[in-house]
Amino acid sequence: MRALDQGMTGAMLKRQERHEFSKPVGLVVACWTDEAFLAGMMEAQGSRDVTVAVERPEPGQIHVAITRQVPVKAPALIRSVIGSWLNLTQNDIWQQHADGSWTAVRNAKPKGLAAEGAAQITLAPSSDDATQCEAQISVSSRAPMVADMVEKLMLEDSTKLLLEEFAWIDTHG
């Protein structure tokens, strides 16, 4: 489903997305925590210089660290200030729960911008080996003069990339 809710909470924009994967939870988590799969997906999204590191510090917990350059899809005025590419650092912490569900906390920080993005992703098993996914995406900026514009652009871009991740897992996972 496309954006279900978009609202302003203080200095933060939020949006919620829902998706159903026709794959079991374990397979969806395996895709989102596989170095080669993630690198291929992010390169297909237009990123370059993608580096992915995955650690499993304990059973039921997976840490994913990603650095990459992402193309800036913004008005020329913003690109003239921040450039055509942003260095982005993303950290996902996945946690398995007793009921078979998984949650991930994602934090993304573009270098050189007083802004950051986050997502809370929940995967839950449903009938017929399918997986229900709910994701809440949020962005915030501390740049007073351009905060509103930066937040809106980041929210749109973050949502677009997440929807592309859903599609990539659906077709390549």
- Could you give the domains of the chain? 16-172 (3.90.380.10)
Q: Provide long-range contacts, Cβ within 8 A and 24+ apart, for 164-168.
A: 164/41, 164/44, 164/45, 165/32, 165/41, 166/17, 166/19, 166/21, 166/133, 168/41, 168/44, 168/45
pLDDT attached to residue 146: 58
> 125 and 21 in contact (C-beta within 8 Å)?
no
Confidence of residue 2 (pLDDT cuts 50, 70, 90): very low
pLDDT, tens digit, 9 for 90 and up, residues 108-159: 998 877 789 999 999 999 988 999 999 999 988 876 655 566 777 788 888 9
Sign (positive or negative) of CA dihedral 22, 26, 29, 34: negative
Higher pLDDT, 28 or 157: 28
pTM of the model: 0.86
Minimal CA–CA distance to 161: which of 68, 54, 75? 68
pLDDT attached to residue 13: 86
pLDDT attached to residue 6: 39
> 9 and 131 in contact (C-beta within 8 Å)?
no
For 41, what's the count of Cα atoms within 13 Å in the CB-facing half-sphere? 23
Q: Is the pLDDT of residue 16 over 90?
A: yes
Q: How far apart are CA 123 and CA 126, in angstroms?
A: 10
Mean pLDDT to the nearest integer, 11-17? 85
pLDDT, tens digit, 9 for 90 and up, residues 48-105: 999 999 999 999 999 999 999 988 777 776 666 677 788 999 999 999 999 999 999 9
Mean pLDDT to the nearest integer, 34-40? 97
pLDDT attached to residue 4: 36
> 77 and 100 in contact (C-beta within 8 Å)?
no
